[in-house]
Structure 1
Amino acid sequence: MLPAYNNLGNITTSSNLSKLINRWFLLFLLLFYQHSPGQGPEALLSKYSEALAYYESENPSDYTDSMSMVLFKELLHSGAELLEDKIKLDIFEKCGNLALIKGDLKNAVVYYRNGLEIQNSDSVNDTLFFASNLFLGEAYYLKSQADSSIFYLEEAEKLIQQKSSLTEASRLYNSLGVIYFESGNYVQSVTYFTKAKNLIIGNRSFDELEPYFQYALFSFLSNIGSSLIQLNRLDSALAIYHELERYGFNRDQVYTQMTGIFLDKSLPDSALNYLEKITSEEFKESPSFQNQRAEIFLQRHELARAKDVLQSYLSRTRVERTGSSNFRLGRSYNLLGKIAFEEGDYESAVKYFHQAMINIDGYFDSPDIFKNPMDYSLGFATFSLIESLVDKAKSFVKLYESKQDPKFFQAGRETFQTAFDMAFFVSNYYDNDEARIFLGDFVLETYQYAIETVLERYELDRDIEYLTQALEWAERSKATGLNIGIRERKLKKISGISTEKLQLERDLHFSISRIQQAILLESNVDQVALLQDSLTDKRLELSRLHNEFNNSPDYVMGKLNYLPLDIPFLQKELLDRKTIILSFFETESNFILFLLDKENIDLQVIEKSDILNHEIQNLRKNIIGYKLGQKYNSGAEGMTLFNHLFGKAYSRFEDYPNILIIPHGNLIDLPFEVLESKNGQFLLYDHAITYQYSLQLIGKIDLKSIEKAKNIGFAPFFDHSWSDEQVQLSSLPYSGEEITYLKGTGFVGEEAGKDVFLDILPEAEYLQLSTHAIPDPQNPDLAFIALFPGNIESRLYTNEVVNMDLSHTSLVLLSACETNFGALSRSEGALSISRAFMLAGCQNIISSLWKAEDKATAYITEAFYRHVEKGNSFSVSLRKAKMELLADPAMAQYHHPVFWANLVLVGNLNKTKLFIPIYLYLFLGLVPLAGYWIYHSRQRRRQQKI
C-alpha cells in the first residue's frame, strides 16, 4: 500500500518491496507534524535533533537512514524515561518508517505498536496517533493480514475527523481504497480513491499542478482505472489509461494495465502490442509481466510457450512449488493450472490450483490437495482466491471423469461449496447493494457449472442428494443481494444498534438522494463538480457508519451465520397440498426446471436454442406491441412456448391450484399467466400464480384482515399532469377511483405530496400507489415513483424506498407503469422499483411489467380488494380479478393480455400459523451456537495475527 499515492499497478506488480515505498512522500508528510522537545536533558535533545536532521536529509541515502535509526535506537534504549511521550511517539513512528523503507515489516509493526501503547497517556493529543495507525495498517496490508490492516486504518479514519491536514486525509482514503479493492469491493474502492483525489487535487487539471501533485493525480486515476477494470467497465478504464499515458509517469505501469484490459477483452494481439512497449528490464522480471506474457500465449492457444514462460520465471525466482506463500505468485500458479487443464493433465492442474491458493491466501498452507481454506475472514485478493477454488473444483470433476474414482467427485463438490461459502461470507461484509450484485454475477457462472455437474451425476445414480444439492445451489445463486439486504434490516433491529444510528443511516440515504436530484437539476459544470464531491462525502460518511455497525457483536454474528437452505423443512412446514413451486435456473446450454411440492422434487431439462429465444421474444412483442383494436392471437406463441418450457411436466402440476414461480435468466419478466396449456386456455384460468426471487425468501405470514388494517392510497395525478424536458406525466382519471376500493385513507391530487407520504407511511399496513413510475435501467437508483406535483423534488427514488421501513406493511400495490421493470442482473434479476419495496421489508408486492392502462387497472384493483376482503389470498384474489375482467362483455376491449398480464404478484405463500419466514426461523435458532463460535474464533485469530 505504501507509498500513499503509489497506484495498484505498482502494488501488484513489483517484487522489490523498496519500490512500494515512496520515500519522499514520507518526508513530505513530516512537514505536517510540529515537534515540542520538552524539558529533557540537553544531551538527549541534541541527539534527537541530530537524528531528525539525518532523517529529514534533503538527499536521503542508506547512510542517512542508518545514522538516524542508530540515534533513535540509542534514545529509546538509554533515555526513553526522560523523554516526553510525544517525542517517544515520534521516535517510534520514524523507526517504523525506516524499517518499512528497508522492507523489514516485522520490526516496522513492532515500532508502530510500541508508539500506539503511549495512547493511554493524557499528555499526548489523540490526533498525533493518526500516522502510526495509518502506517501500521499499511504495514499489515503488506503482510497480507487483512483483519489487522482494516482495524488500524479504521482507527486512523476516526482520528482524521479531528485533523485538518488534507494530505494526510488523502493518503488515508487512498489506503482504504486499496483495502476495499483487495477485498473485492470495487464499487467502494472507487468512492475512496475519488475522495482521496478530490481532497488535494480538486478540479485542477494535470497541467495546472506542481510535480508532486501531478504524480498524485496520476496515481489516483490509475487506482480508479484498476477498479473499473475489475468492474468490467473496460472502455472507461481504457480512456483513463490513454490519458495517463500522456502524463509521462510510469508508462511501463500504464502499459501493463492496458495489456490487462485487452486480455480481459480476449484480444491477445492488442495486449501483446502494449506489453512490448514496456522497456524497464526490472519491470520485465516482475510476476505481473511474466503472467501477462503467459496469458497472451494461453489466449492464443500456444500452451507450450505459455508454460515455458511461467516455469522459467518460477525457476529463476527459486521459489519452492509447495509449502511457501507468495501472494504475487498465486496468479502464476493459477495460469499453470489453466494450461494443464487445457492439456488434459487434470492431476497437475489440481496441484497447481492448490498451490495458487496457498500463495494467495497467506494463512492456508496445507499440502493436502483435498483440503481447502476454511477461514472465511475477510482477506485480500478474494476474487483471485475464489477463482482458484473454482478452477480446482472443475479439475477434480474432470479427474473423476477420467479415473472414475468417487473421491475426486466428492472433492470437487466440497471445493465448489467452499467457493460458494466464501462468496457468501464476503458478500455479507460488503456495505452496498451494487457490490453484492457484482459479486453475485461473478459467481453465477460457477454455480451454473457446478449445478450441471451434480445433475449429470444425478442422471446416472438417481441419488436424491445430488438433485437436492443442485436445487439448493440454484436458489443460493439467486437474489443474494436482496436476501442479505432483507436479513440486515432485521438484524439491525434486534442486535442492539441504537435508534440514533439507524436514524442517521436513514438521514444519510435521504441526503444522498437529495444530492443526486440536485445533480439532475444543475446545468453549471462547476456546481455539478461540487455536488459530486458532496455526494462522495456522504457516501463515505455512510460507509463509516456501516463500519460502526460492525462493532455490534450480535450484528456481526448474525451476518456471518451461514444458513443452509433446508429444503425438507420448506416442504414439510411451508408448503400445503394445493401449492407447487416451479423454479427455473438458466445455464449456458439449458433451462433447468425444478418442481417442488410437499413430498417430492422433480426435474426437467429444457434445451436452450435460437427457436426458444425467438418464441420468448415473439410472445413479449405480441403482447407489449399491441395496437388499438388488435385481437390477441391465441394458440400461437403462448401455446408453443408452454409446450417448450413445460412439455410433459405439466401433468406433474396441472392439478395444483396455486403455483409459485421463480423465473431466472431470460425468463425473468415473462408473464407466465398468458402461456396456454391448450388453444385459448391461459394458465391463468386454472392456476393462481405468485412470483418470487429465490427459495431463500419464501416464508409464510399471517396477514392482517384488510378490513381491520390501516389502508392508505395515493393518487397524485387523478386530475393533474406534469411535464418537463425529461418526462411527461399525464393525468390518470381512474386513479382516484382505484384508491377508494382500498377503503382507507386516500390522498388525491395536491394532497398526495412526498412529505405527506413520508409522514404517513409508518401507519400503512396496506399501501396503494396509483401514479406514474419511471424506471431507469442505466441507473436503478434513479428510478422513481412520482408524487404531487411531479417535479424532481417530489419524486420518490428507489434509493429512498430501500431505506424506508415497510416490515409492518402486508401489501404494496404499485398501480404504476413498469414498476417490475429495470436493469437485469444475471444473478439478482430485475433491479426494479418493486425490488426496492421488497428490500424495504414488504413481503408482498403487486407491480407492473410494462405500461399499464388506467381503466383496466382500476377494474382489476376493485375486484382484487373485494376478493381479499372475502378472505382469499393475494394470488387467488388477483387471479379472480383478472378472470372477472376477461368474463365481462362490457370490458371486451380490455381482454387482450396487454391490459391484465402486466400485473404480477411477487410474494409469499398463503396464510398459515407459521408467522416468520424460513430464513429468520433458522437464523434465530442457529445464531446462539454458530454465530457465537464464528465471532469468538475470529477474535482469537485477530489477536494471534496482531
Structure 2
Amino acid sequence: MTRAVNAICLKTVGLKVSCLIFTIVAFCPPSATGEAHTPPEYTISSSHPNDSAMHKDMLRCRVLYAKVNALFDDNFNFTSGPMMQMLTEIMDITMRYPGADTLLSDLYGKMAICYQDLGKDEDAVASLRKAKALRKNKKPDRSLFNIYLTLGNLFMKSYAYDSAEYHFTYIEDRLAQFRGLRKNELHRLWNELGVLHYNYGDHKLALNYYQQALQNGLSVFPPQAEQIVMVQNNIIAVLLRLDRPHEAIRKYHTLISYGNTLPILFHNLGKTYQRVEKYDSALLYLKKAESLASDDVLKIKLFNNLAITYIGLKDYDQALRCLDNAILLNRRFYKTKNAALAYSYMNKARICEQQHKIIEALKEYQAAIRVLHFDFNDSSFYTAPDDLNNVVSRPYFFECLHNKAIALRKLYETSPQHQHLQASFIHYEKAAKMMDLIRKSYSSEEAKLLFSNHTHMVYEEAIATAFELYEHTKEERYKETAFAFSEKAKMTVLSEALGALKLKKLPGLPTDLISEQAQYKRNIGRLLVRLGDTRDSAVSLKIRSDLAASEIALSKIEDQLEKNKRYRNLKYDRKPLGISEIRLRLQKNEALIEYYLAQHDAFIFTLTADDFTLHRVPLSSSFFDSFEKLKASLYAAGEGVAYRGASPSYTVYKHLVEPVSGLINDKKNWIVVPDGMLSYIPIEALVSDTAASRFVIEEHAVRYTYSSLFLPAADETSSDGSILAFAPFDHVKKMPDIHPLKGSGKEIGALQGTLYYNEAATKTAFLQQANAFDVIHLATHAETFSEDPLRSFISFYPGLQQAYDSKLYMPEIYALDLDKTKMIVISACEAGSGKLMNGEGLISLSRAFAFAGCPSIVTSLWKADDELTATLMISFYRNLKKGYTKDEALRNAKLEFLHAGQDHRLRSPVFWANFICIGDASALYNDSTIYTISAIVALILLLVMVFLKVKKKHRPVPAFSEEELN
C-alpha cells in the first residue's frame, strides 16, 4: 500500500494506510491467542446438494481468509492489487452460499481499504455502503463501528461534511452500545470528530475532541508513536487558529526535536511562520516538507502554501508557478469540487490584486466561488449564489465572498460605476449571512467570540459601502441596512445566550435536558475556576480532560435541544429590530444613539419616535489622542492627582455628540449603544460647554444598552423591590491582600432587605439566594483581568477553604440563572471593565451578569473612593424609592455630587461618573409620596361625600349650585 496517515485531511508518509485508518480497522478482530481468523457466520447448512464442493470451498476460503487477516494484522503490510484478488476470490466463494452476511460485510470493509489505497474512493464508499446494508438490524459491534467510522472518513475526505457528520454522530450517539471497543478505536473516533469540527471552523470543540483522542491514545501508544504525534500536530493546528502562533511554533519545534520527520510537521511549521510573516523561515520548512512528501494531497497543500510564502516575499512568478502546479495536481487527484482547488484560485486572485489587476482578480475569485459551490457555475463576477448552504467549505466560501466584495469596491474606486458598488454591497450582504451560518455551527461562547473578533472588519466595510450608496441614491433601504449591519455586529453571542435562557421554558422541551444543560454549565464553570487555580501539571491535565468531556457533552445536549425547530429559530433568528419597531419602543423624551467605530470614521445612528438619521464623522488623530488622555484622567486619577480631562473631554464631545446634538438635545433621556473603545468612557462625563464647564449629565439622563434588540417592548411592571445585599469587607480582621471597605456597611445598611455583613457574606449564601430577590447589591472587591477575562472575579468573605470558595469567577456567573432578578448593582471597582472584543464590547463581570439573564445592571468602570461610593449609592436608592427610573435615579445622585457646593473637588467626574446604568431602566418602585397624597385626597373626598349625604337627610333644600359649594 502507498497511502499514509491523514491528519486534518492531509496525508503523510510512514504508515501503510489512509488518513482515517491509521490503526488496524478490525472488522473481524484477531483472537486473544493470535490465531488465524475464522470467517464469521461461515457455518453453512449440511443439506447443501454438493457437500464435497462446499467442503473444498470452505477449505480454500479458510486458507485465503487467514492469509488476508494475517496481512492486515501485520500493520497493513500488503499490496492492494494482490489483496483485492484474494478478497474477490473469497467473495466469489461466499456468494455461492446463503447466510454469510457478516463475513460479506467484513470482506466489503477490507475491499474499501484497498480501494481507498488505490485512489478509488468512490468504489471504497460503494463497498462500505454494501457492508453497512448487510449489517442492517444487527446489534452494534466493532465491525459496524469501523464501517461507519471509515465511511465518515471517506465522506470528509471528499468534503461531504454533512454525510461525514451523520456517520460519526451515529457512532457517538450509540457509543455505549458498541461493546468491546478498544481505546485505539476511540482514539480514532475522537480524532476524526476533531478533524470534522476543525473543518467546520469550530476550533474550540475540535480541540476538546483532540484532547480526548490524546488521552485515549496515550493509554495505548508510546508518547513518541506516530499516532500520538499526529494528534499533537492537530492540537497545535488549533492553537494557530486560536491566534496563538508563537506557542504553536514552540510546540512544533519540540515535536521535531524528538526526531519526528513527518513532512506534515515541517509543512505546518512553515505555514505557522507565514502567520508571523517570517517568510524565509516559512520557505525553509516548506521546502523540507516538499523533499519528504510523497502524498498527492500533501503536495497540493504544499504548493498552495509555498505560493503564499512567495507572495509574502513578493516573488509573484514563483508563486504563480506553485499555484499552477497545485491546480494541475488537484484536477488529476480529485474528481469533485474541493476547498484546496478554491484556495489556489483565491491565492491567484491575491497576486492579481497586489499587481493592481482587479478585473483578473475578480475572475479568479469567481472561479473559486464556482469551485466552492456545488450547483453554481455562473462566470460573471457580478453574480454570487443565493443558496449559501450547498457549499464545500463554509469558512472558505465566506472568505471568498468577503475578498470579492473588497475587490469590487476597489474596482469602483478605479472605475466609479454604480454597478460595481452595488455588486460589492450584495457580496457584503451574502458574506454577513454566511457569517451567521458559521457562527450558529459553533458550540462554545469562546469560539463565537473569537469569530466575531476576526470578522468585525466585514461589518465596518459593509456599513461604509451602504453609507456611500445611501449618499449617492438617497434610498432609505441603504441607511436601514447600514443600521442592521451595525446591530448584527454587536452582542450577537450575548443575544443568542439570552434567547436560549428565555426559551428554556418553551413547551415541548425535555425538562431533563434543560436540567442536564444547567448542570454541565455549572460544572464547566467550576472546572475553569479550578484550572486557573491549580499549578500541579498532573491535576491540570486531569481537569482539562474533564473539561473537554463536559464541553463535548454540553454541545451534544444543545444539539438535541436545537432539534426543536421553534427553539432553534427563536434562539438564532434574533434579527435586528426594524426602524419602525424601535420607534414604537422609544418614548417621546428618548433618543437612541448608536455608534459604530471604523478605522478612520465614526458612524452615528440616531433614532427618536419621529426620526432616523445616519452621520459619518471623520476621526482625526486629535480625537484618538484626546480619547486616551480622557481615559487616563478618569482611570488613573487618585488621591492628590488633579483631573485634567476637561479639554480632551470636549474634543471627544465635538466628534461624538455635537454632530447630532441638534437632533437629540431636546430629548431628556439618551440610550447609548457604544462600540469598541467607547465602552470605556461614559458619555455623561463629556464636557458639552467649556465656557460654562457643563457636562452632558446636567441636561440628560444616560443609560447604555448592548444593542437596540435589548430595548424593552413595554414598561416593566413594578415589583416589590426586595433586596439581597452583601458587604463582606465592612470590618475585616487583618488578612493578607484584603483591604477593608469601611463605607460598604453604611452603604447596604441604608437598604431595607436581606443584608449580609462580613463573615456572613459568603459565596455560598449568594449562590443559594441569588435568584429569589428583585435586587442584588454587591458592595465588595472585584478584580478584572483584561487579558484573561475568565480569571476575573467578585470577592465574598474568605473562609478557610480554597480561594475559589470565596470568589465568584466569571465562568460561574455565566452559569447562573438570574431570570427573576430585576437589577444587579455591582458596587465594586472596575466590574464594568474588561477585555475589549470587537463585536461584543467589554468582556466584563457586568456582561457576565447580563449573560445570566439580569436585564438591568448598575456597575463601575474604574476605582473610586469607598466613602463617596457609599454616599452615591445611598442617594441612588433614595431616588429609586421616589419612583424614578434607574437612569434618572443615578443621574440625580450624580448631580448631588456635581452641585455639592461645599466640596468643589466633587465636580470632577472621577468621583461620580464611574457608575453607569446598563439595560432596562424602568422604575423599580411606585412613588410612595404620590400614593400617600392620593390616599389623603381620596379620604377627604369620601368624608365630604358622607357629610353632604347626612346633611341632605336632615335639611332638605334645593340642590347646591357650584358657586355655593365653592
TM bucket normalised to smaller: 0.7 to 0.9
Distance in 1, Cα, partners of 2:735 & 2:511: 39
Higher deviation after alignment, 520-529 or 685-694: 520-529
Question: 2:372 corresponds to which residue?
Answer: 360
Question: 1:939 corresponds to which residue?
Answer: none
Cα deviation for residue 318 of structure 1 reads 5.6
Q: What aligned pairs does 1:70-149 form with structure 2 within 5 A after superposition?
A: 70-71=88-89, 73-74=91-92, 77-79=95-97, 81-83=98-100, 86-117=102-133, 121=137, 124-125=139-140, 128-149=143-164
Q: Which amino acid aligns with 1:70?
A: T
Distance in 2, Cα, partners of 1:908 & 1:40: 75
SS at match of 2:225: helix
Select 1:766's aligned residue among 748, 762, 775. Answer: 775
Select 2:839's aligned residue among 827, 837, 849. Answer: 827
Question: 1:930 corresponds to which residue?
Answer: none
Distance in 1, Cα, partners of 2:318 & 2:711: 52
Distance in 1, Cα, partners of 2:30 & 2:923: 65
Q: Which amino acid aligns with 1:875?
A: D
Q: TM-score, normalised by structure 2?
A: 0.86
Distance in 1, Cα, partners of 2:367 & 2:360: 11
SS at match of 1:856: helix
Higher deviation after alignment, 160-169 or 688-697: 160-169
Distance in 2, Cα, partners of 1:48 & 1:699: 76
Distance in 1, Cα, partners of 2:382 & 2:742: 67
Q: What aligned pairs does 1:539-938 form with structure 2 within 5 A after superposition?
A: 539-559=551-571, 561=573, 563-571=575-583, 573-633=584-644, 635-679=646-690, 680-706=693-719, 708-720=720-732, 723=735, 728-789=737-798, 791-889=803-901, 894-908=906-920, 910=922
Higher deviation after alignment, 412-421 or 900-909: 900-909
Q: Which amino acid aligns with 1:438?
A: L
Q: Indicate conservation of the 8 Å contact 1:819/1:833, yes or no.
A: yes
Q: Which amino acid aligns with 1:778?
A: E
Q: Indicate conservation of the 8 Å contact 2:4/2:12, yes or no.
A: no
Q: Which amino acid aligns with 2:795?
A: A
Q: Which amino acid aligns with 1:215?
A: E
The one of the two structures with greater contact order (alpha-carbon pairs below 8 A, sep at least 6) is 1
Distance in 1, Cα, partners of 2:778 & 2:4: 50
Q: What aligned pairs does 1:8-407 form with structure 2 within 5 A after superposition?
A: 8=8, 11-12=9-10, 20-21=18-19, 25-27=23-25, 31=29, 37-38=40-41, 40-41=43-44, 43=55, 46=59, 47=61, 50-51=64-65, 53-57=67-71, 58=74, 59-71=77-89, 73-74=91-92, 77-79=95-97, 81-83=98-100, 86-117=102-133, 121=137, 124-125=139-140, 128-162=143-177, 163=179, 165-201=182-218, 210=222, 214-278=225-289, 279-280=291-292, 282=294, 286-311=299-324, 313-315=326-328, 325-362=337-374, 364-377=376-389, 381-407=393-419
Q: Which amino acid aligns with 2:67?
A: A
SS at match of 2:875: helix
Q: Indicate conservation of the 8 Å contact 2:28/2:106, yes or no.
A: no
Distance in 2, Cα, partners of 1:379 & 1:71: 41
SS at match of 2:500: helix
Q: 1:624 to 1:315 in 2, by over 3 A?
A: closer
SS at match of 2:23: helix
Distance in 1, Cα, partners of 2:162 & 2:902: 68
Cα deviation for residue 127 of structure 1 reads 5.9
SS at match of 1:581: strand
Q: Indicate conservation of the 8 Å contact 1:642/1:676, yes or no.
A: yes
Q: Which amino acid aligns with 2:88?
A: V
Higher deviation after alignment, 99-108 or 877-886: 99-108
Distance in 1, Cα, partners of 2:659 & 2:374: 52
Cα deviation for residue 13 of structure 1 reads 7.0
Paired positions, count: 894
Question: 2:950 corresponds to which residue?
Answer: none
Higher deviation after alignment, 776-785 or 328-337: 776-785
SS at match of 1:845: strand
Q: Indicate conservation of the 8 Å contact 2:374/2:390, yes or no.
A: no
Q: Which amino acid aligns with 2:628?
A: Q
Q: 1:310 to 1:631 in 2, by over 3 A?
A: closer
Q: 1:301 to 1:857 in 2, by over 3 A?
A: same
Q: Indicate conservation of the 8 Å contact 1:787/1:796, yes or no.
A: yes
Describe the superposition over 1:466-488 as per-residue Cα deviations: whole angstroms up to 9, x where unpaired. Answer: 22222211221122211222222
Cα deviation for residue 787 of structure 1 reads 2.1
Distance in 2, Cα, partners of 1:738 & 1:256: 61
Cα deviation for residue 335 of structure 1 reads 0.9
Q: Indicate conservation of the 8 Å contact 1:140/1:146, yes or no.
A: yes
Describe the superposition over 1:627-654 as per-residue Cα deviations: whole angstroms up to 9, x where unpaired. Answer: 3244434642222322233344323322
Q: 1:463 to 1:38 in 2, by over 3 A?
A: closer
Q: Which amino acid aligns with 2:65?
A: A
Q: Indicate conservation of the 8 Å contact 2:724/2:775, yes or no.
A: yes
Describe the superposition over 1:124-151 as per-residue Cα deviations: whole angstroms up to 9, x where unpaired. Answer: 3456532222222212211211222112
Q: Which amino acid aligns with 1:502?
A: I
Higher deviation after alignment, 825-834 or 324-333: 324-333
Distance in 2, Cα, partners of 1:177 & 1:148: 16
Q: 1:27 to 1:171 in 2, by over 3 A?
A: closer
Cα deviation for residue 424 of structure 1 reads 0.8
Cα deviation for residue 699 of structure 1 reads 3.1
Distance in 2, Cα, partners of 1:888 & 1:71: 99
Describe the superposition over 1:542-573 as per-residue Cα deviations: whole angstroms up to 9, x where unpaired. Answer: 233233333333333444536254223212x1
Q: Indicate conservation of the 8 Å contact 1:722/1:789, yes or no.
A: no
Cα deviation for residue 223 of structure 1 reads 0.6
Q: Indicate conservation of the 8 Å contact 1:513/1:799, yes or no.
A: yes
Question: 1:462 corresponds to which residue?
Answer: 474
SS at match of 2:910: helix
Describe the superposition over 1:181-239 as per-residue Cα deviations: whole angstroms up to 9, x where unpaired. Answer: 1011112211211221122226x9xxxx649x621121011111111112221001111
Q: 1:457 to 1:553 in 2, by over 3 A?
A: closer
Task: State which structure, 1 or 2, has the greater radius of gyration over its C-alpha atoms.
Answer: 2
Q: 1:5 to 1:581 in 2, by over 3 A?
A: farther
Describe the superposition over 1:786-822 as per-residue Cα deviations: whole angstroms up to 9, x where unpaired. Answer: 2232632132222121122222222111111211111
Q: TM-score, normalised by structure 1?
A: 0.87
Cα deviation for residue 406 of structure 1 reads 3.2
Q: Which amino acid aligns with 1:477?
A: A
Q: Indicate conservation of the 8 Å contact 1:193/1:220, yes or no.
A: yes
Distance in 2, Cα, partners of 1:17 & 1:555: 46
Percent identical among aligned pairs is: 24
Q: Indicate conservation of the 8 Å contact 1:358/1:364, yes or no.
A: yes
Q: 1:835 to 1:564 in 2, by over 3 A?
A: closer
SS at match of 1:898: coil
SS at match of 2:124: helix
Question: 1:410 corresponds to which residue?
Answer: 422
Distance in 2, Cα, partners of 1:722 & 1:148: 63
Describe the superposition over 1:152-185 as per-residue Cα deviations: whole angstroms up to 9, x where unpaired. Answer: 2122112334555211111111111111110111
Higher deviation after alignment, 335-344 or 598-607: 598-607
Higher deviation after alignment, 514-523 or 590-599: 514-523
